[in-house]
Amino acid sequence: MILPAARGTRVAIQQHAKAALRGLLNYYMTNGYAVALGYLLISAGVGLVLGTSAGAAAALGAVVTIPPDLAGPRRGKFRQMIPAPIIGVPLFFAVQMLHSSPLELGILIVVSTFVVFLAMAWGKRGAPIAIALMFAMIFSLAVPPHEEVKRLTAALQMTGIFALGAFLYVLYSCVVHRWLNPRYRVQFIADTLLSLADLMRLQARQFGADTAETRSEASGGLISRLLARQAALADQIQSTRDVVFESPDTPPRQRLAAMLLHVLDMRDHMIACALDLDTLKQHAGHHTVLGQMHDMLILLANETDQLADFMLFARRPPRPMDYRARLENLRWAVDDDAMDSDPNRIITSRNPSPDALVHSLADRIANLNDEVLRLYALARGEAQPNLAAVRASWHLFVSPVSWSLKPFYSLWNWGAPALRHAVRAALAIATAYLISLLLPWGTHEYWIFLTIVVVLRGSLAQTLERRNLRVGGTLLGCVLALSILSLHPGYLALILCLTVAQSVAHGLALRKYLYTAVAATVLGLIQAHMISASSSTVFALFERTVDTLLGAGIAWLFSYVLPSWERSQIPGLVRRVVKSQIDHVRTALDLAQLDAVDNAPELNWRLARKDAYDSLTALVLAAERSLKEPRAVRPPLQPLELLQAHAYQMLAQLTAVKSLLLLRRGSLPGERLELPLRRASERMINLLSGKEVIIETVDADEPAQPVREPTLAPGPEQVPQAWDADLMPWLERRLEQAILLAAQVRKDADQLLGK
């Protein structure tokens, strides 16, 4: 007999093992494996042909070129990779020539740091290149100084081998990245499905038992977590779009692109599935049905997880469970006696019956069930993708790959975060350089610089997180490196250790930075050991630890110099949120989609919806970062949280309206919908624009009108075609609630903007 505690432990171990296996099979680790293989081939190949010293120098060239090598679309890969060696090689050579001239070397390092960090203005594309260029200078310092009479010859020789390794890696990266592209597409979809399932489980907590814990969560904690998870998912979806929507010109690619479109619809359904939940909780007899809805969301999340696992293992998934029958029966889970005696049971067009609310919630969960079925059908090859939607998404929903000068022109404003960060980084590096000259050792001063580069981020929150993880990872990495070097391994064994360390350091850099810090420490110590043939491994470890603490401390202190507090960015983000909400209202309530012969109006709505999600994501992330800043400079958090919540709720209401319109497209009489949709659109746009501030009150004496949600469709492919006369009260309810939320969004925005 297995005790419950033992069973729970076994389940926990299985879950951790499954999570670890998913991580090992995901796209970021696949990218790490590819990076490590390239590093191994270049360092070992050059070392066997030209000698171990040349192999170590070529390995440096590869390491410098690696940061921009991330899993992504095929197009633009060469343009993303080539700036690092083209600019990095001259920097490497300049440091070699000035190695024995402290003043000139310091000026070069500080000025170059400022210029290199300006690349942060290009965001996610520019940051890896900036890191790579800093690595070129820093790792050049790791090369022992050359004799004065042979300086030019030795510098040219070392730089030539460094350039050989760098350019060989660029060629390798472009070829391997193209070869791995089909696998990356599958892995990006699987990773997004796993995140979607986690969000579904978090969403299910809103349907849980009414306990003190859930009431506390509902008061703010759970909503904040949901908003943060939604923001992370939106950012992840954009990365997946860039890969999956690229050139969907074969059936497998088209199926994956169609799956991503269904994922987007699932996200909308999840946001909308909690609509009316608070209203239902005001009535008696709802606990049983909400518990069943909670269980249903968990089951759907498990089905989504299972699909992702089968995709990661490159296996054909089994047929999923269809829970529509159980969802149909949820209406009978209501405690009728309790609801009949409920004092809050006042039924009007704006206050539907509890039965109708239950049916409405079940219908939205049924939409999630249908999307899961469609995902499985596509993954099993049993359904054909919507090629028109896929081809449209190919061009309109992916990030540009060409380099633009617009970020460069926007730099020259003293308030520009990228400019202030560049100045901050240059001052930190200058301070570190002066300290390194005063240290009693100074043989590995570049370790201080390396720590500053990887710890100092654009915001205080990111810097603090990196500081702690870097210090802890360095201490663990020193112990591991000492254990390896104490065995006196040969050249090939060291190369193998470096390969594994490079794989972990690169693959987990954006996911588990602690592991990256451990692996990077092992990588740096062994690399330095191979280049300088240091005889004192223990002292090198001590020096590495002290230099890391110094670098982390300097980065932390200079994060307060010329800070770009999130409070200064909030007004622009708030205005962007309001503008994107206006655009979304205009397209979501456009009747043109009902009569259109193509998908152009729907495509416009999807673009507006994407912009609305992106703007909210930027605001949520900024709010999260502000929590780590000094209390005196934080933005007003309460209106910020209210704005985020109200904007997401308005998106949910409009998504519910749009879903009803699209579901009944072709069968709805436009003349009945035109007036309420037009009036609601104008009202919401006026409210969001600040042209209207008065909210009409609802007449409490309005006669009650029975309301029910349109009935559940019998299956995902059987959409009801007849006009349901009772649709209008629900549509009016959604529009009225969306109008109220638009007023709240404007009020929250005005409070944040100081109006």
Residues 191, 197, 199: CA angle, nearest 5 degrees? 105
- Lowest pLDDT segment from 105-119, 168-182, 585-599, 673-687: 585-599
pLDDT band at 517 (very low <50, low <70, confident <90, very high): confident
pLDDT tens digits along 195-249 = 999 999 998 888 875 544 455 455 456 777 888 888 888 888 988 988 998 888 8
Of 396, 427, 458, the residue at which a domain comes to its end is 396
Side chain identity, residue 289: V
| Residues 432 and 488 grouped into a single domain | yes
Apex CA 62: angle with CA 57 and CA 68, to 5°? 150
Full-model pTM: 0.85
Same domain, 251 and 199: yes
Q: Quote the Cα angle for 134-140-144, to 5°.
A: 155
Residue 705: is its pLDDT beyond 50?
no
Q: Which of 520, 543, 564 is the last residue of a domain?
A: 564
Same domain, 193 and 144: no
The CA–CA distances, whole Å, from 449 to 3, 435, 547 equal 54, 11, 9
DSSP per position, 710-743: PPPPSBTTB---S--TTHHHHHHHHHHHHHHHHH
DSSP 23-91: HHTSHHHHHHHHHHHHHHHHHHHHHHHH-HHHHHHHHHHHHHHSTT--S--STTHHHHHTHHHHHHHHH
Asked, for residue 604, whether it belongs to a domain, the answer is: yes
Please tell me whether residues 216 and 353 are part of one structural domain: yes
User: Is residue 698, in this structure, part of any structural domain at all?
Assistant: no
Distance CA 163, CA 87 (A): 11
Same domain membership, residue 351 and residue 422: no
Over residues 280-312, the pLDDT tens digits come to 777 666 677 888 888 899 999 999 999 999 999
pLDDT-derived band at 697, boundaries 50, 70, 90 = very low
Yes or no: say if 134 and 118 are a contact pair by the CB < 8 Å rule.
no
Q: Half-sphere exposure of residue 508, counting CA atoms within 13 Å on the CB side?
A: 21
- Whether 716 maps to a domain, the answer reads no
Instruction: Work out the angle at residue 506's Cα, subtended by the Cα atoms of residues 397 and 178, and round it to the nearest 5 degrees.
Output: 50
3-state SS assignment for residue 305: helix
Lowest mean pLDDT among 317-326, 437-446, 713-722: 713-722
Q: Do residues 68 and 81 touch, judged by C-beta distance below 8 A?
A: yes
How many angstroms separate the Cα of 64 from the Cα of each of 31, 139, 652? 16, 8, 45
With 90 as the cut, is the pLDDT of residue 109 above it? yes
Q: Number of folded domains in the chain? A: 4
Structure tokens at 675: 């007036």
* Other CB atoms within 10 Å distance of the CB of residue 724: 16
Q: Mean of the pLDDT values across residues 602-612?
A: 82
Mean of pLDDT values over 487-497:
82
Regarding whether 674 and 614 lie in a shared domain, the answer is: yes
Same domain, 269 and 323: yes
Which of these, 186, 415, 434, lies nearest to 310 by C-alpha position?
186
Same domain, 540 and 638: no
Q: What is the tens place of the pLDDT at every residue in 493-514?
A: 888 888 888 888 888 887 888 8
Residues 508 and 419 in one domain: yes
Residue finishing a domain among 564, 591, 607: 564
- For the chain, give the mean pLDDT: 80
**Residue 333 is encoded by which pair of tokens?**
């889970």
Per-residue pLDDT tens over the stretch 265-278:
888 888 877 777 77
- Rounded Cα–Cα distance for residues 218 and 226 (Å): 11
* Joined tokens for residue 751: 């409070």
**CATH assignment of the domain containing 237:** 1.20.58
196/91 same-domain check: no
Residue type, 187: Q
Q: CA 648, CA 268: separation in Å to the nearest integer?
A: 10
Residue indicated by tokens 């500080």: 110
Q: How far apart are alpha carbons 601 and 93 in whole angstroms?
A: 56
For residue 2, tell me if it sits in a domain: yes
Range of the domain at 195: 181-396
| Residue 334 pLDDT | 55
Q: How many CA atoms lie within 13 A of 15 on its CB side?
A: 7
Structure tokens at 370: 């249908």
Same-domain check for residues 469 and 529: yes
In whole angstroms, give the CA distance from residue 742 to residue 746.
6
Residue 425 in domain: yes
464 domain-assigned: yes
Residue at 511 is within a domain: yes
Paired tokens of 650:
């308005």
Q: Are residues 425 and 295 in the same domain?
A: no
